[in-house]
Amino acid sequence: MPTEISHINVQYDKTIGRGEQFGPGFNYPVFVARGQDDIMYVLCRGTEFRPEGVRVTVCTTDEEYVSTFARGINYQGPHEFNMEDGSLVWPTCIALDSQENLFISDEWLNRISSFSKDGDFLGKWEERTGSGDGELDRPSGMAFDADDNLYIVDSGNHRVQKFSKDGKFLFKFGTEGSGDGEFNMPWGITIDSHGDIFIADWRNDRIQKFSPDGQFLMKFGSSGSGEGQFDRPTGIAVDRDGVIYVADWLNNRLQVFDQDGKFVAEKTGEAGVSKWAKDKLDANAEMWGERERAQGLEREKDFWGPTGVTVDDQGRIFVPESARNRIQVYKTQSPTFAGPRL
Amino acid sequence: MSDQDISQIAHLMRRAGFGAPLEELQARAAKGYDATVDELLDPESQPAMERDLMMRYKVDWLSQAGLEGQQEEWTFRMINSKRPLQEKIALFWHCVLVTGHAKCEYPKQQSMELDMFRTVGMGSFHELLKGLSKDPAMVFYLDNCMSHKGAINENWGRELLELFSLGVGMDGEFNYSEDDVKEAARAFTGWTVTNSIPRYPYGKYDAKFMFDPRDHDAGEKTFLGETGNFNGEDIVDIIVKQPATARFVARHLYNFFVADEPQVPSWKDTPPRDIEAIKMLEEEYFRSNYNITSMLRVLFKSDFFKESTFAKIKSPAETVVGTLKLVGDFKFPRPGLDLMTMNIRYMGQDLLNPPTVEGWHTGREWIDSGTLVERINFTADQVGNINHTGVKDIIGRIGGTGSVLTADQLIDGCLENLGAYQLADETRKQLVELASSEGEIRSDSEGFPLQVATMLQSIVATTEYLFA
């Protein structure tokens, strides 16, 4: 056996969270934003019939609960929404600007709301539903570039638009289709250290890469469940070494690619009992007994509905699972050697 | 294309689906009645639901972890499926082969059961009963997981015979004995489900069916006159070949798709309202080797079906879904659907959560003073909303028939657009008076949309509109 050197080695680190309508825990988490120090902001999509579960949970990577802010909307009728400032209906993504203010996309209200890191409502871009320049139709993924300009995946219009932080339209790229530079209901976005833009082209089951000015650079992926194939990729992230991570939603896995888009590894889930989960189980001690008697407990490890992926500057990868109300954390390792002694 | 063609297709689509707007009825009528029946009976020929889109926007529809979300998701399917009979058959079996949320460890198990009804439910009744016997939602709901060798729990064995296959009796005779119940229960011992993973901290996981041979009573049993070392599958094999099972399936299909029968508990002593129709369906049951699609083909193409217009009171699900299809709302996932599905509950049909293992009593028992008000308020609110695209289309179509309309023309236009409805003379007279009370009806007038909407509201408030 020849000695192989793998420069990309992704290993399970830990699990964060538990299902909770209020307080420490998550409710259909769809995105994680990493703040300064150990702070993380977890966007909980919740449901419309329990709007109190729609929120941002703030906690640390060590699972210390900090706070909750923003809220869902109570509505009086199927067409009568209370669209108060600071309300969320279908929140999809958080983008942090250079001051760590949170910008949250809402793909029902077609609204971008902003909050301070302490949860104070700062403002919103006036709703601009439509398909013209600067107008939005189901804004989903968002990412700030190094100049504090905001790229928004305008999913219903099958394009990406770039705005200044105060909402001024700068430019757009992409149209509906399956050719190079075309999209079919794209979702996630990330910007790498060179300023290049990666888009999870959701219904085309592929990833596309663009230059900062929107020029198509490369693509990879196709429909399926094999290595390098996708079933509706939702989130994408690129680490400082250019390694690409994709939340492969309906295949229930995290896929890892090198900077050329070559498949490296997949992770189907290794979740364990998180700190908050242990607290919950300790408070409901009979559950420990039920777990001991349960058949198929190993299924608890598996991803279910990975809807986003975020990397931090420590090489940790955060994958929220909307259907499991938790975040699986992985980390990249230094180069490893496999085979006989060198 | 005659009015009769539209009327017949409207009748078919109300029964084999949840109704349809006029333009769809016209398109189907142009294809022909028999071709439409064949298409409905071949759901795979039509596109499936776009589940990726549904779950992208309604994230809780992926995990199916709660009743409200499940009801929403199913309602959305019923409104939008290009395979309407597939959803209708799921509703049919849900009303017959009952499990309930109130006794379900994990709501998703019931969604998985519905998936079985959508597919196996249009195939062999033999396979459906076998699937049901191993369905974790059912095994838990009727306690077969609590039935052990030497200590049987009769719940599943009893309901399998009484409510899911033979029925208590027919033609005045009992179909089975207490001993048959006990022997069936013995045969199903060891058919159980895996211990489930608890709800905390990450939510439930679906249980799996499992056979525990150590807990199975492998001894000799005598069941419906046959003797052997029967297991559960043997029991189902014996059940499906009984004439009473053919009667049971035929009568339920007739009751759901053709005309209201008396309530199920009275079937032993109350003969079918159309014994010739039931015999046709029974014959097809055996001829086709218990195939439900074959029975439905005979049913939908029969004269007794074509002559059964407005012989059924719409169920709450049919009322709400049919209305939402008509007005063109919720074609794409969006917030607010839960408020719509709540109306099905308020009208007396809490989908996936029936009152007992017997399901819901149907026909006139859907209507009481409370549910009637809910029904009329809901339908009137919807058809009276001139912002709904479907209502706008209706206004446009009626307005397109002329610049000045008589009261009769306005009423006829509304009736046609609601699905070729018919009114009793006295009802029509009152509506003519109503329509005439505001002077000339001009389609180019500012008030015309409201005049149409008011007439639609008046019609859906009639006794006639309670029927399908």
Strands A159-163 and A222-223: unpaired
Q: How far is A78 from chain B (nearest CA, A)?
A: 4
**Are the CB atoms for A9 and A335 separated by under 8 Å?**
yes
Q: What is the mean pLDDT of residues A230-255?
A: 97
pLDDT for the residue numbered A206: 98
HSE toward the beta carbon, residue A215, CA cutoff 13 A:
4
> Which DSSP letter does residue A181 get?
T
pLDDT for the residue numbered A234: 98
Nearest to B201 among A19, A108, A293 (CB): A19
Strands A175-176 and A159-163: unpaired
Cβ distance of A294 and B195 shorter than 8 Å: yes
Nearest to B197 among A274, A294, A325 (CB): A294
Q: Which tens digit of pLDDT belongs to each residue from A274-310?
A: 999 999 999 999 999 999 999 999 999 999 999 999 9
Size of interface A-B (CB pairs under 8 A): 113
Q: Which residues of B touch A (CB under 8 A)?
A: 52-53, 56-57, 59-60, 62-63, 65-66, 68-69, 194-203, 205, 208, 210, 329, 334-340, 387
Cβ distance of A322 and B62 shorter than 8 Å: yes
Contacting residues of B for A186, CB less than 8 Å apart = none
Mean of the per-residue pLDDT values of chain A: 94
Cβ distance of A284 and B336 shorter than 8 Å: no
Q: How far is B58 from chain A (nearest CA, A)?
A: 8
d(CA B208, CA B136): 6
Q: At what angle do helices B33-40 and B22-31 cross, to 10 degrees?
A: 110
Residue B434: other Cβ atoms inside 10 A: 15
pLDDT for the residue numbered A333: 77
Of A15, A42, A48, which to mutate for an interface test with B (greatest number of B Cβ within 10 Å)? A48
Q: Hey, what amino acid is at A234?
A: T
Contacting residues of B for A202, CB less than 8 Å apart = 56
Strand order in the sheet with A65-69: A29-34, A39-44, A55-60, A65-69
> Which DSSP letter does residue B447 get?
T
pLDDT for the residue numbered A128: 87
Burial of B366 (0-12, 13-18, 19+ CB in 10 A): buried
pLDDT for the residue numbered A334: 59
pLDDT at A184 over 70: yes
Q: Which tens digit of pLDDT belongs to each residue from A27-78?
A: 999 999 999 999 999 999 999 888 889 999 999 999 999 999 998 887 766 6
SS3 B373: helix
Of B56, B64, B389, which to mutate for an interface test with A (greatest number of A Cβ within 10 Å)? B56
Tokens 């929220």, located at residue: A320
Strands A222-223 and A229-230: parallel
Q: At a CB cut-off of 8 Å and minimum separation 6, what does B49 contact?
A: B77, B80, B81
Q: At a CB cut-off of 8 Å and minimum separation 6, what does A266 contact?
A: A227, A248, A253, A254, A255, A256
d(CA B445, CA B428): 24
Taking only the tens of pLDDT, chain B with its 468 residues reads 788 899 999 999 999 999 999 999 999 999 999 999 999 999 999 999 999 999 999 999 999 999 999 999 999 999 999 999 999 999 999 999 999 999 999 999 999 999 999 999 999 999 999 999 999 999 999 999 999 999 999 999 999 999 999 999 999 999 999 999 999 999 999 999 999 899 899 999 999 999 999 999 999 999 999 999 999 999 999 999 999 999 999 999 999 999 999 999 999 999 999 999 999 999 999 999 999 999 999 999 999 999 999 999 999 999 999 999 999 999 999 999 999 999 999 999 999 999 999 999 999 999 999 999 999 999 999 999 999 999 999 999 999 999 999 999 999 999 999 999 999 999 999 999 999 998 899 999 999 999 999 999 999 999 999 999
Closest to A30 in 3D by CA, of A249, A314, A334, A273: A249
Instruction: Give the predicted TM-score (pTM) of the model.
Output: 0.96
pLDDT for the residue numbered A83: 76
Cβ distance of A290 and B69 shorter than 8 Å: no
Q: What is the mean pLDDT of residues A114-143?
A: 96
